Chain A
Amino acid sequence: MKKHGALRVIYLVLIIIFLYAPIFTLMVLSFNEGKSMGKWTGFSLRWYASMFSDEEIMEALGNTVFIALVSALVSTVIGTAVCIALPRMNKKIRDAFLALNNIPLLNADIVTGLSLMLAFVAFGVSLSMGTVILSHITFCIPYVILSVRPRVKQLGNTGYEAALDLGATPGQALFKVILPEIRPGITAGFLMAFTMSVDDFIVTHFTRGAGVNTLSTLIYGQVRIGIRPTVYALSTIVFVTVLIVLVLANVFQGKGARARQGKRI
């Protein structure tokens, strides 16, 4: 077993390089004085300065965060609610629900986006930021259910019934017994929904109104006419933010919970 040890490490390191080289390249280029994609002409922070003063980018950034926050919040509430209701349903309905839940998960984004667009147009809803949010909620709910359902399953029904026996109203039992118990799942679901929303391009592309830009649609527009180095600065900031958020989420969630749950980010 030992003799291949070095080869194994080399393989894993090569994959890591493959995964990070593109991101690292963008980071390096974001500090490049010149506009060139291939030549280093000196260190500069000018692209960061022009990024922060670029209204288009700042607006897209604001939109992205706003859309992600609202979609993640709403989908977390809806997804958590249905997860709490699921154990009470008979098996057939529950299985049907879970099968339906897989549709947006496994379906192609282009079909999800286009079919939602058709629905908005058919019902006379003009495309705007609102339609983007409604669409994001649609594809975020399944991810919330994915995170919350295992917690609810684990919890079982005894705590809730004990609370009722001790005189709690169903509402009290829900808010004081069930919700605190499944909170890690809810947090994970919210984070997952938030990231999926930020990451999305395709669904946004088809359901946004004219002039509504998120980071994804802004970058897509730029790619066609030529990427500006401000976008490299932007991608560096996005990467660092993601890194910090994930590390924090891991630190907060990891305590104790991780041992039981396996590898949850």
Chain B
Amino acid sequence: MNKKALSAPYVIWIIGGTLIPLALMLYYGLTDGEGSFTLSNILAIGEPGHLKALLTALLLAAVSTLICFLLAFPIAVLLRRVKRAKGLIIFLFLLPMWMNFLLRTMAWQVLLEKGGVINSIISWLGFEKLRLINTPGAVIMGMVYDFLPFMLLPINNAVSKIALSTTEAAYDLGASEMQVVFKVVLPLSVPGIVSGITMVFVPALTTFVISNMLGGGKIYLIGNIIEQEFTVGDNWNLGAGLSIVMMVFILISMLFIAKFDKDVEEDLAI
């Protein structure tokens, strides 16, 4: 038996499940309804509605990626020092990730709704109810909540790999705690940080679920436009063209990750 033959099903699956579908996406995006070549589906990104959706998505994704990083990096640094029950504590941070994504997003809807939990508490305290749901803030909240583990995981893997002797050496040489964090730990965890940024930015940029559930159909992201073209709008060529534009940003992220991080596989290992 030839061991190489064991890779045959995988090769078939990669070709049938990844390469052909992506080629079709390109084909649809670069043709019109009759099948002749056109760039109009791509250039359609210039239309005000589409452009606004793309820019909103880029902005919201960038803000939530930044918030995720600002939350996750200190967690990883603090977890490094935990001595007792370390496994359990990391488990606690990652557990919500395993719960269904839709349920997690729905939970925020329940919290933020007009008659929801937070507003009930606010009015019970005697304050005026706030408009929380259907705002960009609600969408960012959902993105941060849903994708925080994707930032935490690679950063924590990178930070925990830094040998204790490395940071101890820095302390011995007179570095302050802040200096150790910013001049030793931070630079050494760059590969993990880059992975984390990509793994939060890409799903946030392309989501249509979070904006739909927490934006109440008022906040249109590029993902919403594409989803609608493929479902209700029924213009697949346009949807594919806009997907290609979106994929350019995904591709940039992938190149970014490839430049800084040689071992993506390890970062995703849980």
Write the residues of chain A forming the contact surface with B, with a CB cutoff of 8 angstroms.
1, 8, 11-12, 15-16, 18-23, 25-26, 29, 36-39, 77-79, 81-82, 84-86, 88-89, 97-98, 100-112, 114-119, 122, 134-135, 137-138, 141, 143, 145-147, 149-150, 169-171, 174, 192, 195, 198-202, 206, 215-216, 219-220, 223, 227, 231-232, 234-235, 238-239, 242-243, 246, 250, 254, 258, 262-265
Q: How many A-B residue pairs have CB under 8 A?
A: 251
Query: How far does the Cβ of A157 sit from chain B's closest Cβ, in whole Å?
Result: 10
Apart from the given pairs A106-B202, A114-B230, 4 other A-B contacts in the complex at a CB distance below 8 Å: A25-B107, A37-B115, A81-B9, A103-B18
* Chain B interface (Cβ < 8 Å from any Cβ of A): 1, 3-7, 9-10, 13-14, 16-22, 24-25, 28, 71, 74-75, 78-79, 81, 86-87, 89-96, 98-104, 106-111, 113, 115-117, 119-120, 145, 148, 157, 160, 177, 198-199, 202-203, 205-209, 213, 223, 226-227, 230, 236, 239-240, 243, 246-247, 250, 253-254, 257, 264-266, 268-270
15 interchain pairs, CB-CB under 8 A = A8-B81, A19-B93, A19-B148, A22-B104, A25-B110, A26-B107, A38-B116, A81-B6, A82-B9, A89-B4, A118-B236, A134-B17, A137-B17, A146-B265, A201-B101
Contact of A106 (CB < 8 Å), options: B71, B119, B257: B257
Are B269 and A146 within 8 A (Cβ)? yes
Main secondary structure of the interface of B (DSSP, over half): helix
Residue on B nearest A261 in the bound complex, by CB:
B269
Complex Cα distance A152/B14, Å?
Answer: 21
A146, B93: Cα distance in complex, Å: 21
Which of A100, A102, A250, A262 is within 8 Å of B254, CB to CB? A102
In the bound complex, do residue B93 and residue A265 qualify as a contact, i.e. CB atoms below 8 Å apart? no
Chain A at the B interface: mostly helix, strand, loop or mixed?
helix
